[in-house]
Amino acid sequence: MQNPFDYSHRTVLVTGAAQGFGRAICLAFAQRGARVIACDIQKHLVEETAALCGETALAYEVDISSPEAISVLFSSLEARHLSVDTLVNNAGGVVGQQGQPLEEVTFAQWQAIVAVNLNGAFLMSQAAVVGMKAHKFGRIINISSRAGLDISLTGIQAYASAKAGQIGLTRQLAHELGPWNITVNNVAPGFIRSNPSTEKQWEAMGSEGQKRLIDNIALKRLGVAEDIAHAVLYFASDWANWVTGQILSVDGGK
């Protein structure tokens, strides 16, 4: 029987690949044979990710909120005769912001979070889908958050809204792209200490807040970045050939 988790025939592009979920996802695919294209605005860290993934991996410094930058990226891939068949829209986060009252939020702050969390997923999918349609095969996996299904622990209105919007985009694209054998699914992680931002959140909770968070998780422990990578592997695999438009919460149980 063919191994459903053999990705030696796949070219996988992961955004937000410099650290955390993105790096874990890149490594999970690379370890199973995929050609990995790691993208992030943090040049040195994304190059480090690509180096960890092996000789065939590529690193690109890309601002996924910029249509022009994405056009340059895909032109470069085309010049290398590379066609992306698996896209993981992982880039996101709170871009250094903290929760504040609605009336104090500036429009620029709102736009900055929406740009990377929602616009980026739209723009990357739009660019990648051209090649996927041509080959009548594709896998798009968006990484949202429990914040898109419930409320955000950060208290940041734009973050919760953008992640909810990304979930809506997932469902809509699943129906639009299905005729080309392109599936579109979404992983919604719970709180995981995976990058400097989440470490700051964890510290800000204090011991009582940390205990309260863990007590509200069915499994009574935090997850790790690899838990998210494993969910992505499933959606990209042959085992998920008839699964599309779905949101998988990976949060230890709520």
Residues 224-251 have a mean pLDDT of: 97
State yes or no: pLDDT of 245 exceeds 80: yes
Residues 57-64 have a mean pLDDT of: 98
What pLDDT score does 152 carry?
83
- What are the tens digits of pLDDT across the range 163-211? 999 999 999 999 999 999 999 999 999 999 998 888 988 998 999 999 9
Residues 150-154 have a mean pLDDT of: 84
Residues 141-153 have a mean pLDDT of: 89
Residues 82-96 have a mean pLDDT of: 93
In which band, very low, low, confident or very high, does the pLDDT at 253 lie, cut at 50, 70 and 90? very high
In which band, very low, low, confident or very high, does the pLDDT at 1 lie, cut at 50, 70 and 90? low
Pick the more confident residue, 38 or 154.
38
- What are the tens digits of pLDDT across the range 170-183? 999 999 999 999 99
Q: Which residue segments constitute the domains of the chain, with CATH numbers given? A: 11-196+224-242 (3.40.50.720)
Dihedral angle computed from the Cα positions of residues 4, 5, 9 and 11, in that order, rounded to the nearest 10 degrees: 130
State yes or no: pLDDT of 230 exceeds 90: yes
Instruction: Output the average pLDDT for the chain.
Output: 95
In which band, very low, low, confident or very high, does the pLDDT at 95 lie, cut at 50, 70 and 90? confident
Which residues are catalytically annotated? 159
In which band, very low, low, confident or very high, does the pLDDT at 234 lie, cut at 50, 70 and 90? very high
Dihedral angle computed from the Cα positions of residues 218, 219, 222 and 226, in that order, rounded to the nearest 10 degrees: -120
Pair 34, 11: CB distance under 8 Å: yes
What distance in Å separates the CA atoms of residue 149 and residue 121, rounded to the nearest whole number? 17
Chain-centre distance for alpha carbon 141: 7
- Give the contacts of 180 (CB within 8 A, at least 6 positions apart): 132, 133, 136, 137, 138
Query: Could you write out the DSSP letters of every residue in 34-81?
Result: -EEEEEES-HHHHHHHHHHH-TT-EEEE--TT-HHHHHHHHHHHHHTT
In which band, very low, low, confident or very high, does the pLDDT at 232 lie, cut at 50, 70 and 90? very high
CA atoms within a 13 Å half-sphere pointing along the CA-CB vector of 156: 23
What pLDDT score does 45 carry?
98
In which band, very low, low, confident or very high, does the pLDDT at 151 lie, cut at 50, 70 and 90? confident
Q: What is the pTM (predicted TM-score) of this model?
A: 0.95
In which band, very low, low, confident or very high, does the pLDDT at 148 lie, cut at 50, 70 and 90? confident
Residues 130-151 have a mean pLDDT of: 94
